[in-house]
Structure formats: structure tokens, C-alpha cells
Amino acid sequence: MPALASHRKPRTRVRSTTPAVGLTTAALAGVTLLSTQSATAAPASPRPSIEDVQKKVDDLYRQAGTATQQYNQAKEASAAQRGKVDALLDDVAKRADKLNDARRTLGNYAAAQYRTGSIAPSATFFLADDPQAYFDQNQLMGRMAGRQQKAVTDFRTQQAAASKKRAEAAKSLETLTESQATLRTSKENVQKKLGEARAMLSKLTAEEKARLAALERKKEAEAKRKAEELARQQAAAKAEADRKAEEAAKQAGSGGDTGTGTGTGSDSSATTKADKVLAFARAQIGKPYVWGATGPSSYDCSGLTQAAWKAAGVDIPRTTWDQVEIGTRIATADLQPGDLVFFYDDISHVGIYKGDGMMIHAPKPGANVREESIYYMPIYGSVRPA
């Protein structure tokens, strides 16, 4: 009998896929982890453009200029307060001497009274050998009592005055301490801003430094172009004014007016002062800018303008904020040599106008006193000190 065929399907050997699933799961987990890390990691900060660097550095120098003016202001206030304190302390010392003199006088009277003792006037009269001598002595003692009273009054007056002056001196010392603290803070602010500017410039590559220099040259060229345009406008305005003056002189001559005119003395004096201001300023060209400096080997911007006008016999304040408040305000189109031109909304910089749209100024740390277009920085306004 033949063997019956088996109806059971042959068993297929199935390979286990567990290891593959494990590898795939691990790979997916790794990819997910990397994706998560990439998503959560802070993106690298983009490198600022050269234009941004230029703007930032210029702004830091401007802030340093503002802090410099704050330093100058605090330094002046501190010096003035120191002088006041010294004067008060001298006064206190003198009043202490007067108080000691009054105290010694009182001491002498007290010692004399102790030596003579205290005897009733009636007893003194009866014990006296000569009644007339008693009356003479009593009158003398009355005068001495009056002097004693005056000595007491003087002592009290000197004591009150000395106490008042000591209180004033103590208060002035507190103000001086505050001024010195402001001075230190202003100095730290200047150094901080300059340090930030130097740090930013030090990170530039050679190529970036070259591009920054090119931007500076472009900025200077544009400022120079504007200065030349102002010079042409001023020259045209002067020519027109001269023409009108000449016509007025001819008309006055034909009318028989032999007057020589007035007001030339004042104009001549102003011109002479301006000449002295510019002569001094030109002599400082090439000297370094140093914040807080007033010469003679270095200057900051307002230190230069103050020294230049002092050379012309005119005293002007120390800071830009005070200098802008003096003299007469002048429109840019009407600028004349010697006028002061102020820059930025916070009035943190100043230069001396020399004509043709140009100025002489102490620019910033790392630069020297030089001639430059007044349009290199945004103009705030101008004044004519005298």
C-alpha cells in the first residue's frame, strides 16, 4: 500500500528580525536625538557687517565724548568745592583762635575773682580805712564787671560763629565727597567705552580693517564735498554783500555824504580775536587727543577750544554744555573763523571753525588735533563767543 501523501505544509524557516528592529530603533533614536540637539542649540551669532562695526565704534566714541564732558564737569565742581572747603577750614581755624582768646580772658577774670573773694559791699565800706578809697575802688570794680560781661558776650558770640562754620565745613566736605564720587564714575565710564571700542576694532581681520578704512575715506570725502559747497555759498554771499556795500558807498558819495561810517571798530576787534584763536589752534595741530586734557601737550575737544579763546583774551567755560550757552548763536551759513561748532544731539563735541566749511578740533582718542570738515559729524549748532 502506497504511503499517503502528507497534507501538512512544509515548515518554512523564518529568520528572526529582532536584531534588525533593534538596530533600526537605535538609529532612529540617534537621528531624533541629533535633530533635537540641533534644534535646541543656540545658533551662532552672525558676524556684524563692517557698516555696523563702523556705526557701533563711532557711537562708542561719541558716548566716550559724553562721559568725558561729564568727567570735566565733575572735575571742575570738585576743584571748586575743594577751594570752598579749604576756605571754610581756614575760617574755622581763625575762629577757633578767637574763641580761645575769649576763653582765656574769661579765665583771667575768673581767677581774679577767686583771688579777691566775694565780700558784701556794706562790709567792704565799713572795713575800708578811707571811705573815698572805697568809692574809687567800687567804681573800678564796676567797670571791671562791665568788661567781664562783655567778655562773656564775646565768648558766646565766637562760640556760636565757630559752631556755625564747623557745620558749613562738614556739609561742604560731604558735597566734595559726592563730587569726587561722580568724578570717579565718569572716569570709569570713559575708560569702559574706549575699551569696548578698542576690543571691537581688535577683532577685525586685515581685510575688514581695510574695508573699514575705505568706509572712513568715503565718509571723509562726502564731508569734504559738503564743506566745499558751503565755502562756495559763503563766497557768493560775501561777494553779494561787498557789491551792495560798494553801491551804498557810491550812492552816499554822490549825495555828498562824507561820513566814514560806524561800527568798524567792533568788527576789527572781533577779527583780531578770531585771528588769535586760529593762530593758537593751528599751533596745536598734531598734538594728541587725551580725554580730560587742557594742554599744553594734549587736549580734549573742549579743552582745545577753551585754551584757544583764552589765548585771544576771552575766558570761556570748560565743558561743551557750558560753552554752547555763551556768546551769540550763529547759523551754519553765517559761520566765521573762530566760531565754535557743536556736534551731536547731546552736544558732546566741539570744534573751531576756520573757514571754507572746515574746522580745527581734537577728534577722539587715538587721533591728533587736525583740520576736518564740519560735516564729518552731525552739527548741533554754533556760537560766536565774542
* CA 28/CA 74 separation, integer angstroms: 67
Of residues 165, 318, 349, 354, which has the active-site annotation?
349
CB 57 within 8 A of CB 197: yes
**Is the bond leading into 296 cis (omega within 30 degrees of zero)?**
yes
Of residues 301, 340, 358, 359, which has the active-site annotation?
301
* CA 302/CA 348 separation, integer angstroms: 9
The 3-state DSSP class for residue 328 equals: strand
* CA 64/CA 291 separation, integer angstroms: 9
* CA 358/CA 362 separation, integer angstroms: 13
* CA 52/CA 208 separation, integer angstroms: 12
Residue in this structure with the C-alpha cell 587736549, named with its chain if needed: 299
Which among 370, 383, 373, 364 has a CA at the least distance from the CA of 316?
383
Of residues 193, 276, 361, 364, which has the active-site annotation?
361
Is 7 designated active site? no
Q: For residue 359, what is the enclosing H or E element?
A: strand 358-361
CB 331 within 8 A of CB 384: no
C-alpha cell of 228?
566745499
DSSP 47: P
Measured CA to CA in angstroms, residue 61 lies from 48, 348, 356 at distances of 18, 10, 26
Give the number of other CB atoms < 10 A from CB of residue 47: 11
Apex 322 CA angle, 317 and 327, nearest 5: 80
Residues contacting 67, CB < 8 A, separation 6+: 186, 189, 190, 193
Q: What is the largest CA-CA distance in the chain?
A: 191
**Any idea which residues carry the catalytic annotation?**
301, 349, 361
